[in-house]
């Protein structure tokens, strides 16, 4: 059995060097010029041939033999905030910080790439790397899919991973089925007819319509969705008018939909459209719905997850692996890939020992660097588990 841990130790200095450099130079969204250049230089130096994909994505393929192809995905973007971790290699920018751990993801996948290059002759298929932009704003993975990341070579399975500050260091967590919620952010614009507040009968009041829309949509969860399903449909913003004695022309509502079940998600979106339009029409007005973000739940494939997970378990202490993780209430744009190809997703615990447990995006967050080696192991062993066994049965 290949000793992946020994290979990881060999490249540990590069792992830490990459992570700390990226940590000190965070970039946002699709604006990743410096990060992309750094990743491409590192890939080139290890013998890979990086290719630009979409808007600031990078991909490369490792493997000489015919066989199945597994995609390994990392995200690269930071968050628009100032770091307050106090680390000696803290970022000094006021406007960007790696408080979600994407710097560690990029460093882990670069290190996995070094290992795959070293054992390339032994790979029973192909490993396709994806360094993705703009996960934090929800559009990066979609951009990669639209620009052909799942083709040339055709991807048979996909593998995502995320470091997590809320779980103990050097642990691995995964499961089958829905892992994360979908996230659909929408704006409803209600159109009425404005006028003086003293003669409301000459107007079509968009505020009245908006209020009825909010109330009518509450019945979707309470009366139309199975009580055993988790579904959120709520509003966080309502804006209309500027004077107390004038009925405005329009009212604007902003809300979101979250659920672990993609069928329920589609049902809710359909009913939001129907109820909104019909409620507005009932009062003589009209309404339009626009989605600023449409993202499904990440759903993991049973067989791909088993093939990857079983191989990972061979190289880890059983006490540090949890293969029955509960659903988590975060959203992940990896769902754009998991919607299209059999996929799996693993979480790597990285809360430093005897440290305060902080959630992702906290400005004081610290990820245990030793846990990055676990992350590399997850990428390498997971991919090898699929490539070795995935061709034996149709998935």
Backbone phi, then psi, for 117, in 5-degree steps?
Answer: -65, -40
User: Which residues contact residue 230 at a Cβ distance below 8 angstroms, ignoring those fewer than 6 apart?
Assistant: 181, 259, 260, 261, 327
Q: CB atoms < 10 A from the CB of 195, how many?
A: 17
pLDDT in tens, 208-238: 999 999 999 999 999 999 999 999 999 999 9
Rounded CA separation 260/40 (Å): 36
Residue 395's pLDDT is 41
Q: Is the bond into 394 cis (omega within 30 degrees of 0)?
A: no
Report residue 78 as tokens: 């930071």
Q: Is the pLDDT of residue 390 over 90?
A: no
Residue 354's pLDDT is 85
The gap from C-alpha 171 to its chain's centroid, in whole angstroms, comes to 20
The gap from C-alpha 150 to its chain's centroid, in whole angstroms, comes to 17
Give residue 42's pLDDT band: very low, low, confident or very high (50, 70, 90). very high
Rounded CA separation 261/179 (Å): 10
Lowest-pLDDT choice from 18-22, 357-361, 365-369: 357-361
Q: Is the pLDDT of residue 181 over 60?
A: yes
Angle between helices 302-314 and 370-389 in degrees, nearest 10: 120
Rounded CA separation 193/284 (Å): 9
Rounded CA separation 17/20 (Å): 5
Task: Using only the alpha carbons of the chain, give its radius of gyration.
Answer: 24
Angle between helices 370-389 and 102-118 in degrees, nearest 10: 50
pTM value is 0.93
Rounded CA separation 156/387 (Å): 10
CB 91 within 8 A of CB 98: yes
CB 84 within 8 A of CB 98: no
Report residue 183 as tokens: 């996230």
- CA dihedral (138, 142, 143, 146) in degrees, to 10, reads -170
Give residue 391's pLDDT band: very low, low, confident or very high (50, 70, 90). low
Residue 272's pLDDT is 98
Nearest to 75 by CA among 7, 9, 22: 22
Rounded CA separation 85/361 (Å): 11
CB 374 within 8 A of CB 170: yes
* The pairing of beta strand 69-75 with beta strand 157-168: parallel
* The pairing of beta strand 286-295 with beta strand 177-178: unpaired
CB 309 within 8 A of CB 384: no
Q: Is the pLDDT of residue 257 over 90?
A: yes
CB 288 within 8 A of CB 229: no
The gap from C-alpha 107 to its chain's centroid, in whole angstroms, comes to 17
| Domains of the chain, first to last | 4-180+298-389 (3.40.630.10), 183-295 (3.30.70.360)
CB 120 within 8 A of CB 304: no
Rounded CA separation 20/367 (Å): 12
User: Mean pLDDT throughout 291-314?
Assistant: 97
User: Mean pLDDT throughout 308-314?
Assistant: 97
User: Which residues contact residue 216 at a Cβ distance below 8 angstroms, ignoring those fewer than 6 apart?
Assistant: 275, 279
């Amino acid at each position: 059995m290949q000793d992946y841990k020994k290979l990881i130790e060999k490249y540990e200095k590069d792992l830490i060097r990459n992570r700390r450099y990226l940590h000190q130079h965070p970039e946002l969204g699709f604006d990743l010029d410096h990060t992309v250049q750094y990743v491409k230089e590192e890939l080139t130096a290890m013998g890979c041939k990086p290719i630009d994909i979409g808007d600031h994505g990078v991909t490369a393929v490792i493997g000489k033999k015919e066989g199945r192809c597994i995609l390994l995905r990392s995200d690269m973007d930071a968050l628009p905030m100032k770091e307050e971790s106090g680390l000696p290699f803290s970022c000094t920018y006021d406007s960007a910080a790696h408080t979600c751990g994407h710097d560690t993801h990029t460093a882990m996948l670069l290190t996995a790439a070094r290992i795959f290059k070293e054992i390339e002759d032994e790979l029973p298929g192909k490993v396709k790397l994806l360094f993705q932009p703009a996960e934090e704003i929800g559009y990066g993975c979609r951009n990669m899919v639209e620009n052909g990341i799942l083709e040339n070579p055709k991807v048979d399975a996909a593998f995502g991973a995320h470091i997590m500050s809320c779980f103990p260091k050097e642990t691995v967590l995964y499961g089958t089925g829905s892992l994360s919620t979908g996230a659909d952010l929408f704006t409803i614009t209600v159109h009425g007819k404005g006028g003086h507040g003293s003669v409301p009968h000459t107007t079509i009041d968009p505020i009245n319509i908006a209020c009825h829309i909010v109330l009518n949509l509450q019945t979707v969860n309470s009366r139309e969705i199975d009580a055993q399903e988790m579904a959120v449909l709520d509003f966080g913003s309502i804006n209309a008018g500027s004077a107390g004695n004038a009925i405005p022309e329009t009212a604007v509502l902003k809300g979101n939909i979250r659920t672990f079940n993609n069928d329920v998600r589609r049902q809710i979106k359909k009913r939001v459209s129907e109820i909104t339009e019909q409620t507005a029409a009932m009062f003589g007005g009209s309404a339009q719905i626009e989605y600023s973000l449409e993202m499904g739940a990440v759903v993991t494939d049973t067989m791909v997850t088993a093939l990857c997970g079983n191989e990972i378990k061979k190289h880890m202490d059983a006490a540090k692996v949890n293969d029955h993780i509960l659903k988590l209430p975060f959203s992940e744009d990896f769902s754009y890939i998991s919607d299209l190809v059999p996929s799996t997703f693993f979480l790597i615990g990285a809360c430093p020992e005897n440290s305060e447990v902080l959630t992702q995006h906290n400005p004081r967050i610290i990820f245990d660097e030793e846990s990055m080696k676990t992350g590399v192991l997850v990428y390498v062993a997971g991919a090898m588990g699929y490539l070795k066994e995935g061709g034996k049965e149709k998935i």
